[in-house]
A and B are shown apart, each in its own frame.
Chain A
């Protein structure tokens, strides 16, 4: 009987594996194999088309990485990513949480408004980029303003006009040109934080809040002492997802501004694309890709390990 059971169990495992095998095999190649290959290319000297075609495996160690971190463009990219990620997340959290708190009280029209605030999540970064590029196109100041600068002029707010994503001004390595891109990205993703928070808020026991109110807690105290601590795991998930989005914001930047003057709106993903597919610097491109992977890994792995432990 025992032997029969073992045999059946063994057969079951094999059938399970067989069903999973198309996914296992393709993912082994497309994820793990290709990452390995990218690492390999990043350690070679394939930075010209000839070298690449010859295919000689001359390993140069970490030279491509060292070169990359010394490059001005890549340093700018890293600062841009840092500031973009920071303000993008803060913007989405502030707007999303504010809207969720208001909508949770179900004011008139809340169903419609909730759907309105969330719809940009459904459309492509490429559409967002195309539209916001037109809105933020500065035109030739001061005589020929365009986009939002034109609107400022019409409203008598001409003093607010500036170069938006073409401005090369920077402050503590923050390229202010990024503000336009951040606004577009926040426009698209703040509804996401709102939806996450709303889903969480609906699960909170109203009696808890009522009790706090009776005890004389102010709205701000209820938010900081009760709601925020309860919503902390949800907020953390949202931050991880948004950080992840910002590291991948290639399509938005590519369609809205490109690298910009002096790379003011450049990010590693755009540089990687140009290095690899526009200027045949395959090893540099691969090195950027691996740096990106490492950044995502630093962000995601602790979070995943934690989630699995809880489960």
Chain B
């Protein structure tokens, strides 16, 4: 397979190296700038490594963003758990307890995954105001759960589809009902699927901006909104802005580094049809 001339080999590594640089440069800028001292952070030195390393930028960014980091966790954890749990039940019913019209229903559920959220945004804001959840994190949790349902349902349905129907039938003959079959057969084998869905939902909801910026007030802003405000402000130093960006990127990056395999699975499952 690898019968390559030295020249080809050199070309290959050159291409790989150039793209490695392309992908690393923004992270280099982020990291080196955020580790500079306030005195050191002039535009003139933006491409240089810090002459003195300092965590002052991080301390300042964390002081600014700590409440928003907390908001993000408070938002992401329940929203991920609830949307995964409901998606698992939906996927189970739609793959093993089909009824007349259930496939159409599945298609109608799936549609919610493809819409641009702008098309529901203004009525959504009004609705949240009417039910008194506008500007609150529980409100944002509700929104992320609902709009997360199509993708979580799809992921679980595709996973359960490969479980033999005979298994469900046999359990039925033994007198098990829809709930006990889920509880004792499907739920225990769903762990890998739950991991994929958790990771997918966690990163997506953490990174989300549109709902976050339209449905929150100052005290309930998740970190993505706070970062944009911080970066848009003229008085905030660059090292603080870059430290803030790094802080925003860090939780999903940690998840990616620890669970990369599952992240890729989710990414491919989210895009490739069932």
Contact = CB atoms under 8 A, between A and B. Distances in A.
A274 B210 CA distance: 12
Interface string B19-37: 1101111100110010000
Contacts of A250: 118, 209-210
B252 A131 contact: no
Given A123-B207, A130-B227, A248-B116, A116 B20 contact: yes
A150 B43 contact: yes
Contacts, number: 245
B77 interface: no
Interface stretch (A27-35, A57-65, A224-232): A27-35
Contact of B149 (A19, A26, A234): A26
A206 interface: yes
Contact of A150 (B47, B90, B94): B47
Given A124-B207, A124-B209, A151-B47, A290 B253 contact: no
A286 interface: yes
A90 B153 CA distance: 31
A124 B248 contact: yes
Interface in A248-302: 248, 250-251, 254-255, 268-269, 272-273, 276-277, 282, 285-286, 288-290, 292-293, 296, 300
B161 to A, nearest CB: 10
B208 to A, nearest CB: 8
Contact of B16 (A107, A195, A251): A107
A16 B97 contact: yes
Contacts of A206: 1
A121 B2 contact: no
Interface residues of B, number: 88
A122 B108 CA distance: 28
B93 A19 contact: yes
Contact of A27 (B12, B100, B112): B112
Contact of B267 (A41, A135, A195): A195
Nearest to B87: A23
B202 to A, nearest CB: 10
A102 B16 contact: yes
A113 B105 CA distance: 42
Given A37-B123, A99-B19, A16 B93 contact: yes
Interface in A31-76: 31, 33-35, 37-38, 41
Interface in B71-124: 86, 89-90, 93-94, 97-100, 102, 105, 107-112, 114-124
Interface stretch (B52-60, B132-140, B187-195, B237-245): B237-245
A255 B209 contact: yes
Contacts of A107: 12-13, 16
Contacts of B170: none
A128 B120 CA distance: 26
A6 B213 CA distance: 51
B15 to A, nearest CB: 6
Contacts of B263: 121-122
B186 interface: no
Given A41-B122, A122-B203, A277-B214, A255 B23 contact: no
B19 A127 contact: no
Contacts of B256: 119, 122
Contacts of B214: 273, 277
B244 to A, nearest CB: 8
A241 interface: yes
Nearest to B268: A199
Contact of A95 (B19, B116, B260): B19
Contacts of A290: 119
Contacts of B99: 12-13, 16-17
Contacts of B207: 123-126
Contact of B116 (A30, A135, A285, A293): A293
Given A123-B248, A133-B231, A273-B118, 9 more contacts: A16-B97, A20-B105, A27-B108, A35-B120, A102-B16, A124-B207, A131-B242, A196-B268, A206-B1
29 contacts: A12-B99, A16-B99, A30-B143, A30-B147, A33-B123, A34-B120, A35-B115, A41-B122, A98-B15, A99-B16, A116-B24, A118-B264, A122-B255, A123-B248, A123-B253, A126-B224, A127-B248, A130-B245, A131-B245, A146-B46, A151-B47, A234-B272, A237-B271, A244-B114, A250-B210, A254-B209, A282-B122, A289-B118, A308-B107
